[in-house]
Amino acid sequence: MSALTETPMQRERATTIYEKSKPGRRAAALPEAEVPEAPLEELIPAQLLREEPPRLPEIAEPEIVRHYNRLSRRNFDLDSGFYPLGSCTMKHNPRLNERVAALPGHARLHPAQDPLRAQGALELMWLLQGSLAEICGLPHVSLQPSAGSHGELAGLLLTRAYHADRDETRSRVLAPDTSHGTNPASVTMAGYEVIKVATNERGGVEIDDLRAKIEEAPDQVACLMLTNPNTLGLFDENIEEIAALIHAAGGTLYYDGANLNAVMGQSRPGDMGFDIVHVNLHKSFSQPHGGGGPGAGPIAVSDRIEPFLPRPQVVRREPNGRGPVFDLDHERPKSIGRLRGFQGNFGVFVRSYAYILSLGADGLAEASETAVLNANYLKARLAEGRAGKYAPVAFDRHCMHEFVLSGKPMKRELGLATLDLAKRLLDFGFHPPTVYFPLLVDEALMVEPTETETKESLDAFADAVEQILAEAESDPEIAKQAPYTTPVRRLDEVKATRQPRVRQPLDVDAA
Amino acid sequence: MLAAIGVDSVEALFEQIPEPLRLGRPLQLPDGMSEAEVYERLAALAARNADAEAEVCFVGAGMYDHYVPAIVDAIVSRSEFLTPYTPYQPEISQGGLQVMFEFQTAMSELTGLPVSNAGLYEGPSSVASAGYLAIGATKRRRFVVSRGLHPHSRETLRTYSVGYGAEVVEVGLEGGLTDAAALAATVDDETAAVFLQSPNFLGGVEDVEALGAAARQHGALLVVACDPMTLGILKPPGEQGADIALGEGQPLGNRLDFGGPSFGFFCATEEQIRRMPGRIAGETEDVDGRRGFVLALQTREQHIRREKATNNICTAQALNALGAMVHLAWLGRQGFRELGELLARRTAYARERLAAVEGVELLHDAPVVREFAVRLDAPVDAVLERCAEAGIAAGYALGADYPEYADGLLVALTERRTRAQIDALAEALGTAVAAERDAFPAADRGDFDPDSGHNAPRRERVA
């Protein structure tokens, strides 16, 4: 790219806040000490004190604001455009939720506050627990896990505790080859071995393979981790049979709730036979993703798993006929223990509860209906024309909230990789779909539009894909070199891993 | 849209769900509400919490009522930071990636260790992640843990250890600090890691370097949990021999939020870089030679490495880390140090002031920065209730976590706690202790019950 075609954003070289620092500048004014200003050495032994303060930036407030505002413009975000990132449920984040989370009664409430003086917070948690239990079809909920992967770890530790309580030791956790990467990672972290189960021609679990994997060592089967609808966006029609097989072997059935947005008010994991479910509040329940967190991953469980839930658990008591009192129950002798500090990501609970209140029973069911409708419409649009030719849907049947395309013909006939299509989409103002996942689909593109997109957005996306493919038929190099309009163009990721440079060197104070 | 799909109803799309598994009834949840109604409903719940605006907060125990500057709220609420996903497409995520890089630099400066990740869920689970790293690094499965480590961290480490298979051995405190002789006697050649916290849970500043000798001698990793707000004045763990420094990040730019979301920070030596948990941003160049940032070392992570990943974490706390970075930039190099000094001086004043109160004595006289422990000559819960009636959250009762300090109260300071408020705390504590002593002479108080963490018989509490 020549300087003439550079965008203004590209002409601005990335400058870190440390490079903008000048000795002596500052933003903060602190309160007066109001107490005797004893030398620190009189309070703390000198050998425990640091000699030089950490080299934080020295910069005035207006420049801090400008710096981060400029950085923000180097991000693409959900509020700016269509973000069909599969498996991530990029739905609109209502701002009401931010407003209620910021109320001082929530935002400035200390987590160690006496439960009797935090009744509103505990009641909110109790109400959210009840709502999630109803949505999942399982009676007991712990809000403690901090994210989906944390919920998975919790579910596996619960499984271990459940079996240990029955004097059983089991070593194997089954997971389909289409599973999210967090599933096998959690399995290893929980001290189990991962056993992969194959996928059938309909995109579901291959029952014969599942049976074979169980029969290899039935008394070693601890758990089957499943996403339903799965990562292909397809509902596994054999789920009842799968559940029966796992339960007959004595294992638990774990539901990765990443795809719950497809089935809210339509079908419930508990009714499908699952014992443990995690819910990503940052997916289905509208907590903003924050550029990679925060989220929360509450779990819902069946009666037989309940005794082992993490502590503390939010409970409702009715002492001596007085009104209800909400409390934190630490007296749980079979509990797996804590998974983190305090009670969980309460600020996320406030937002998600506000979302559930806003939508209500019908609204949640309608959200899932619209998510499924939007996905099927976009799938139909992408089956037309060039997209259908070069990137056909991987398992061609009605999908749930997302679907997976395979860019294999595109690569073969146009020499264009899925990555190239994704990068060219950036120039058209779209966030690309999830790429190269699930692993069993060659050149995969996983598309999840969500219910908060209009038909016009979906059409515009389909039109852009068509246009990119038409362009590639005449000159594939355009997409192969894309993007052109973004703050930076393709980045050297190999270098960043081979010679990691993960902090700013500050050998010399910034001049 | 239905015509394009080739169905005549949305229901047809749900026919792939076997009929018995379709719910077939509305969820048993209330009907949807207007925005105004939802606001009123949640405001009514919020009003039933005694927050740090309703009462003067001297409670700490890992989370602190610091003043979060207004620019933090303004920046973290920008759509461009609030609403994107994890930066999997770096070309359109340079803002978030650069923030991570700046944050990593700041945490590396604070802790004195060269490598930082972009943040984990929160403090205690970061401790457990360090345990997992230590097993991978040493191939050993025994942890030696100071009782000065936050009780939630110790419990979380135990929870995880049942999964990844490790033994956790605790070493007690002596005079408010880790018992050095006991620690040296407990660490052995099977020990994967030694876990310390400084300032420890009772507020005491540990001599990490001296205590860490046992870890070095036996080839165990030294893991130090720390309070970032004290690192403007305290010697950084990296200069005291720590292999890993981590902790709860809430004091930096994050609200109390009844316990979360906040973030955990995690820093380590170069040697551990390929075993680190979580996202790490790295600097690189684009095809035209422009400076840019990407997620580096992704081959450690679950979405690439699956069952061989160094950790299972995916969603972390990018927005909370941004809040921390903005807060740190706002404090700046000098302000950050001054804040540490302010905390130390106000805490010294508060400690002296409380120690002079009849019925209150220091639990230990170890050096402290922002939190200290006292003993009360009256049941702690009852004293806390009386102080709450006077509009003061006086501190954190130690008995439930430390049966050996059943009469202990942990008092925390931030820059928001003024001298007048400290004086009011001293007065309220004195009044409350005296009132309890009058109402319940020592002989009637009953023995401490370690199971409940309270003296029995406990006075019935009224909702």
Contact yes or no for B378/B359 (Cβ under 8 A): yes
Chain A hits for B22, CB-CB cut-off 8 Å, are: 266-267
Has residue B293 got a pLDDT over 90? yes
Residue A463 corresponds to which tokens in the numbers above?
A: 């039109």
Which residue from A minimizes the CA distance to B209? A48
Cα B110–B111–B116 angle (5° rounding)?
A: 95
Single-letter amino acid code for the residue at A93: N
CA dist B244 → B148, B213, B417 (Å): 17, 15, 32
Q: Is A144 on the interface with B (CB under 8 A)?
A: no
Mean pLDDT in chain B?
Answer: 95
Q: pLDDT at position A508, please?
A: 52
Q: Mean pLDDT throughout B216-222? A: 98
Q: Pairing mode, if any, of strands A325-329 and A313-317?
A: antiparallel
Q: Pairing mode, if any, of strands A325-329 and A193-197?
A: unpaired
Do A431 and A471 fall into the same domain? yes
Q: With respect to residue B321, please indicate whether it lies within any of the assigned structural domains.
A: yes
**Structural domain boundaries enclosing B285:** 70-327
Cα B267–B270–B271 angle (5° rounding)?
A: 110
Chain A hits for B121, CB-CB cut-off 8 Å, are: 146-147, 150, 293, 340
Contact yes or no for B431/B395 (Cβ under 8 A): no
Collect all residues with Cβ–Cβ distance below 8 Å to B16 and sequence separation of at least 6: A234, A235, A237, A397, A398, A400
Q: pLDDT at position A509, please?
A: 47
Q: With respect to residue B22, please indicate whether it lies within any of the assigned structural domains.
A: no
Do A9 and A130 fall into the same domain? no
Strands (E) across B90-200 are located at 115-116, 142-146, 167-171, 173-174, 177-178, 193-198
Q: What CATH number is associated with residue A149?
A: 3.40.640.10
Confidence of residue B460 (pLDDT cuts 50, 70, 90): very low
Q: With respect to residue B364, please indicate whether it lies within any of the assigned structural domains.
A: no
Collect all residues with Cβ–Cβ distance below 8 Å to B333 and sequence separation of at least 6: A21, A26, A53, A54, A55, A56, A57, A58
What percent of chain B shows pLDDT beyond 70?
Answer: 95
More confident residue, A501 or B439: A501
Contact yes or no for B460/B452 (Cβ under 8 A): no
Confidence of residue B450 (pLDDT cuts 50, 70, 90): low
Residues (pLDDT < 50) of chain A are 1, 509-511
Do A181 and A34 fall into the same domain? no
Chain B hits for A274, CB-CB cut-off 8 Å, are: none
Question: What CA–CA distance (Å, rounded) separates B463 from A316?
Answer: 12
Strands (E) across A64-210 are located at 140-142, 172-176, 193-197
More confident residue, B163 or B441: B163
Q: With respect to residue B223, please indicate whether it lies within any of the assigned structural domains.
A: yes
Q: pLDDT at position B208, please?
A: 98
The helix/strand/coil state of A45 is coil
Q: Is B317 on the interface with A (CB under 8 A)?
A: yes
Q: With respect to residue A490, please indicate whether it lies within any of the assigned structural domains.
A: yes
Question: What CA–CA distance (Å, rounded) separates B45 from B39?
Answer: 10
Do A161 and A217 fall into the same domain? yes
Q: What CATH number is associated with residue B80?
A: 3.40.640.10
pLDDT tens-digit profile of B23-48? Answer: 999 999 999 999 999 999 999 999 99
Chain B hits for A373, CB-CB cut-off 8 Å, are: 1-2, 5, 10, 13
> How many distinct structural domains can be found in chain B?
1
Q: What CATH number is associated with residue A394?
A: 3.90.1150.10
Please choose, from the candidates B53, B253, B261, B252, the residue with its C-alpha nearest in 3D space to the C-alpha of residue A346. B261
Do A372 and A300 fall into the same domain? no
Q: pLDDT at position A6, please?
A: 85
Q: With respect to residue A315, please indicate whether it lies within any of the assigned structural domains.
A: no
Do A187 and A133 fall into the same domain? yes
* Closest partner CB to A36 (pick from B28, B83, B349): B349
Has residue B443 got a pLDDT over 70? no
Q: With respect to residue A288, please indicate whether it lies within any of the assigned structural domains.
A: yes
Contact B116 A502 (CB under 8 A): yes
Has residue B387 got a pLDDT over 90? yes
Q: With respect to residue A503, please indicate whether it lies within any of the assigned structural domains.
A: no
Has residue B444 got a pLDDT over 90? no
Q: Mean pLDDT throughout B334-342? A: 98
Give the global pTM.
0.96
**Structural domain boundaries enclosing A215:** 114-308+343-355
Contact B23 A343 (CB under 8 A): no
Q: Count the helices and strands in chain B (H runs, E runs).
A: 14, 19
Confidence of residue B18 (pLDDT cuts 50, 70, 90): very high
> How many distinct structural domains can be found in chain A?
3
Do A399 and A351 fall into the same domain? no
Do A173 and A299 fall into the same domain? yes
Q: With respect to residue B148, please indicate whether it lies within any of the assigned structural domains.
A: yes
Q: Is B278 on the interface with A (CB under 8 A)?
A: no
pLDDT tens-digit profile of B50-71? Answer: 999 999 999 999 999 999 999 9
Q: pLDDT at position A5, please?
A: 78
Count of A-B CB contacts under 8 Å? 708
Q: With respect to residue B179, please indicate whether it lies within any of the assigned structural domains.
A: yes
Q: With respect to residue B221, please indicate whether it lies within any of the assigned structural domains.
A: yes
Q: pLDDT at position B457, please?
A: 43
Cα B15–B16–B22 angle (5° rounding)?
A: 65
Least confident of A326-330, A479-483, B285-289, B314-318: B314-318
Q: pLDDT at position B448, please?
A: 53
ipTM of the complex as predicted: 0.97
Q: pLDDT at position B439, please?
A: 87
What's the sign of the alpha-carbon dihedral A303, A308, A310, A312? Answer: positive
Q: pLDDT at position B188, please?
A: 98
Question: What CA–CA distance (Å, rounded) separates A48 from A37?
Answer: 19
Do A206 and A302 fall into the same domain? yes
Q: Pairing mode, if any, of strands B281-285 and B291-295?
A: antiparallel
pLDDT tens-digit profile of B115-147? Answer: 999 999 999 999 999 999 999 999 999 999 999
Question: What CA–CA distance (Å, rounded) separates B174 from A457?
Answer: 65
Chain B hits for A152, CB-CB cut-off 8 Å, are: 312
Do A118 and A66 fall into the same domain? no
Q: Is B26 on the interface with A (CB under 8 A)?
A: yes
Do A350 and A375 fall into the same domain? no
Confidence of residue B456 (pLDDT cuts 50, 70, 90): very low
- The rounded Cα A397 to chain-centroid distance in angstroms is 26
CB atoms within 10 A of CB A328: 15
Do A348 and A397 fall into the same domain? no
Has residue B316 got a pLDDT over 90? no
What is the DSSP code string of B352-419? Answer: HHHHTSTTEEES--S-BSSEEEEEESS-HHHHHHHHHHTTEE--EE-TTT-GGGTTEEEEE--TT--H
Please choose, from the candidates B350, B327, B360, the residue with its C-alpha nearest in 3D space to the C-alpha of residue B429. B360
Domain boundary among A321, A355, A389: A355
Please name the residue ranges forming H helices in A146-202.
148-165, 182-189
Q: Pairing mode, if any, of strands B408-412 and B396-397?
A: antiparallel
Q: Is B256 on the interface with A (CB under 8 A)?
A: yes
Q: With respect to residue A60, please indicate whether it lies within any of the assigned structural domains.
A: yes
Q: Which residues pair with B265 in a beta bridge?
A: B247
